Homo-oligomer: A and B are copies of this chain.
């Protein structure tokens, strides 16, 4: 049985638009005229800028970042030429850059352990049409979420995991990432540590949700430690995974108010609500190519 509750509010006309939608993300040394160069390039390639966000770490001698969202009729036919033409500009201005296309949805894998709520939130947003992605596979070291995932027609793999078999587990996971051609890995409360080899394979492509307001309560059992410290707010943090535990670039954070009456069980309940919305936002922004990473920090163009 497949539960179908997709309530995508997009009209065919809107989906048509999506096909002719492109994004150009650029990072380069700041210098006068960069915006002129880029906007002229897009104009010359019959593209209309519909959204533009920029940031400069310092107008004098800093680094410049821009995200341009553009509309271009018959983009799929023109994009090869466009990308070819851009190479010269990029070389001339020492640009790192990336094109992305509305017609190419990113392919996402979700890793989950026992607690299903972050997975549920992502599946829900996805069914609502709020996440621009194909969720192509879910991997878990527990069987708990299988029914929920398979009911939506998504392949579910149960891979038991513990630190003794980590290498072998990750080999199997990497094989699946390749088989499903995955662009983004989401750790939706996946409670296993990843090896440096695994992490390095997916730079800025693994999003984790940490159940505290980082850098407070790095590491294990943050709710227990928040309770012990008597904080008046608890939080959650979504970040890209690096090889420094809980030290990767922060994408989004949020908090809720708590008080002395909230024991650890209650903190966890409240925390669940924060975790799921913080993770969902981070994933959404990643999928819309709104995030640039620089010096272990994120620039998020809302």
**A51 and B62 alpha carbons, distance in the complex (Å):** 13
Give the residue among A7, A213, A250, A277 with the most B Cβ atoms within 10 A.
A213
Q: Does A99 contact B (CB under 8 A)?
A: no
Q: Does A95 contact B (CB under 8 A)?
A: no
Q: A43, B36: Cβ atoms under 8 Å?
A: yes
Total A residues in contact with B, Cβ cutoff 8 Å? 76
Q: A32, B46: Cβ atoms under 8 Å?
A: yes
Q: B255, A233: Cβ atoms under 8 Å?
A: yes
Q: B3, A148: Cβ atoms under 8 Å?
A: yes
Number of copies: 4
Q: B300, A259: Cβ atoms under 8 Å?
A: yes
Q: Known: A216-B214, A233-B235, A269-B130. Is A35-B50 also a contact (CB below 8 A)?
A: no
9-residue interface stretch from A83-91, A112-120, A158-166: A112-120
Q: Which of B3, B43, B71, B130 contacts A147 (CB 8 A)?
A: B3
Q: B261, A55: Cβ atoms under 8 Å?
A: yes
Q: Known: A5-B148, A50-B56. Is A233-B254 also a contact (CB below 8 A)?
A: yes
Q: C-beta contact mask, A284-302 vs B, less than 8 Å → 1, else 0? A: 0000000000001111101
Q: Known: A5-B116, A48-B32, A52-B35. Is A231-B259 also a contact (CB below 8 A)?
A: no
* Cβ contacts under 8 Å, A148 to chain B: 3, 5
Q: Does A97 contact B (CB under 8 A)?
A: no
Q: Which of B9, B30, B231 contacts A250 (CB 8 A)?
A: B231
* 20 A-B pairs whose Cβ atoms sit less than 8 Å apart in the complex: A3-B148, A7-B115, A9-B265, A32-B46, A33-B48, A35-B35, A50-B56, A53-B53, A55-B261, A120-B124, A128-B272, A130-B269, A214-B216, A215-B229, A232-B251, A233-B235, A233-B254, A233-B255, A255-B255, A260-B300
